[in-house]
Amino acid sequence: MFAGHFGLAAAVKSKSPELPLWTLIVATQLLDVLFVPLYVSGIETLEIVDQGGYGHAIIHADYTHSLLVALVLSLVAGWYALKKWNKRNGIVIGAMVFSHWILDLLVHRVDLPILPGNLGDLPLLGFSLWKYPAISIMLEVLLIALGIVLYFRSVIARARMNTSSNHKNSLNKAYTAGIVFGGLLILSLITDILGLG
């Protein structure tokens, strides 16, 4: 679901142009960014249930992907963004961090804990759309398409508002940025589908 997270970041960038795109991308991937060192250290693990391909693993991210940790990280990131930018952007960043957990809830097999470390052995969550690759891929395609269209339209609109003598150059850069980022989103979808992401 990496591509879907990136697509959502691109869509939100179109409505929050003052926030750097990289910030929105990191916000949507913060849970996975924190997962990497815990995975490398063996604290969190992956269990392969299907060989290769899309959504082939149960992810034992009992700390980084627990509902409580996702909420706390969302609040901390939102508070930091509020201090750096303003209240609206704090809410946007906090929501972007939590959006990761929501999107994972849709596609993950039943492997998302409520409390860190699955404290209290509560039921695990996940709607398991990865068991139905066509449906989960379509969800991701929709997020990518939305992100590409909204991002492309917003960078072109901002370039058209440029009234300086460099208007044509600004418009060319906007087209290039839109096309390149759209291509990267599509590439991320392909790597997700092939099980490389």
CA 162 to chain centre: 30
C-alpha to C-alpha distances, 174 to 26, 45, 113, 123, nearest whole angstrom: 22, 41, 42, 47
CA angle 92/95/97 to nearest 5° reads 110
Instruction: Please compute the mean of the pLDDT values over residues 155-166 and round it to a whole number.
Output: 76
Assess whether pLDDT exceeds 90 at residue 121: yes
pTM recorded for the entire structure: 0.88
* Dist CA 120 CA 112 (whole Å): 14
pLDDT band, very low/low/confident/very high, at 177 (cuts 50, 70, 90): confident
Maximum mean pLDDT: which of 7-16, 55-64, 97-106, 167-176? 97-106
pLDDT at res. 151: 87
Q: What is the pLDDT of residues 133-157, one digit of tens each?
A: 889 889 999 999 999 899 888 888 8
Report residue 106's pLDDT band, with 50, 70 and 90 as the boundaries: very high
User: Which pLDDT score, from 0 to 100, does residue 163 have?
Assistant: 66
- Report helix, strand or coil for 112: strand
Task: Determine the pLDDT at residue 18.
Answer: 92
